[in-house]
Structure 1
Amino acid sequence: MVDAFNGTWTLVDSNFDEYMKALVIVGNGTKPKIVISQVVIETVPDVKRREFSYTLGEEFDEITADGREVKSTVTLEGDSLVHVQRWDGKETKIVEEIKDDKKITTLTFEGVQAVCTYEKA
C-alpha cells in the first residue's frame, strides 16, 4: 500500500492557513509539490525545499518547514500513512490517504484541522 503514495503530487485545494495560524505561524499561500519515493518525502514549495526519510514505526528527528525541531514517527494504519510530530509537550498529526486518485492530507493540531488535496502530476 505504501507504493500508492509514490509520485509527484501538486496541491489543488487547501485550508492550510488556519492550521498554520493554530501553530502560530503565518501562512504564506504557497502551493508546494510533494514528491514521495518509498520512504523519502520531499517538499518542493515556492520558497523552501525540505526532504526527510524515515523507517515506518521508528522515531526520528525532524526539522519542520517552519523550523520546529520535533520527534516524528510515521506508521501505516490501514491504507493511511500517519505522521505524528511531538515537541514541547505538543503534538500534531498528519494523515495521508489516497482517494479517487487524489492524495488527501489531513493535518490536526489542538482541534484545528486542515485538509489539503493533491493531484498526481
Structure 2
Amino acid sequence: MADFAAGKWTLVDTTGFDEYMKAVGVGMVMRKMAAAIKPTQIVEVEGDRWTIKTLTTLKNTEIAFVLGEEFEEVTGDGRKLKTTVTLEGQKLIQTQVGEVDSILTREWDGDTMIMTLKAKDAVCTRTYKRAV
C-alpha cells in the first residue's frame, strides 16, 4: 500500500510552469489564469488502483487508474491523451502520449511531494506540502 502518497497536498512553490504549458500548447489566456492558481491534489490509493483529484478555483479534474494500464485522460486544458502510470519506489510516473507527449513525475519524501512536468525542452517543478 502506498500510504506515503495518500492524502491532501497543497502547492507551495512552482518554477517553469508557463514554459511547460507553452510546450504542450496551452494558449496565453489559459496560461495566465492557470499560473495564478494554487491547486490542491487529493491522492487516494487502494492496492494498484489510484485516484488523483486536482482541485482549483478554475476547474477540478480527476484521474482514476490501475498502475501499468493505459487509460484515456482529458487534461484540465482539454487535451486528450493516452496515459500510463507506473510506480517506482516512492515515485509515480505518469506518461502522457498525444499531440505533445509529456511525463509527469510525483516523488514523495515525508510531508513533501515534488511534481516534475516535462514536455519537449520544458521542465516544470511544483512543490506540494501535505495538508493537515
**TM-score between the two structures when normalised by the length of structure 1:** 0.93
Residues 97-119 of structure 1: CA deviation (Å, up to 9, x unaligned): 01352000000000210000000
Select the residue among 32, 55, 58 that pairs with 2:66: 55
2:44 corresponding residue in structure 1: 37
Q: Does 1:110 align with 2:120?
A: yes
Q: CA–CA distance in 2 between the matches of 1:110 and 1:2?
A: 30
Alignment of 1:11-90 (within 5 A): 11-15=11-15, 16-25=17-26, 26=28, 27=31, 28=33, 29=35, 30-38=37-45, 39-88=50-99, 90=100
**How many residue pairs end up in the alignment?**
120
Please give the root-mean-square deviation of Cα atoms over the aligned residues, in Å: 1.3
Give the share of equivalent positions with the same residue, in percent: 40
Instruction: Report the residue type matching 1:11 in the other structure.
Output: L
Q: Which runs of 4+ in 1 moved over 4 A?
A: none
Instruction: Report the residue type matching 1:92 in the other structure.
Output: S
Offset at residue 48 of structure 1 (A): 0.3
Q: Which runs of 5+ in 1 are unaligned?
A: none
Residues 26-74 of structure 1: CA deviation (Å, up to 9, x unaligned): 3222111000011000000111011110000000011011001100000
Q: CA–CA distance in 2 between the matches of 1:24 and 1:51?
A: 21
Residues 70-103 of structure 1: CA deviation (Å, up to 9, x unaligned): 0000001232000011013x31000100135200
2:3 corresponding residue in structure 1: 3
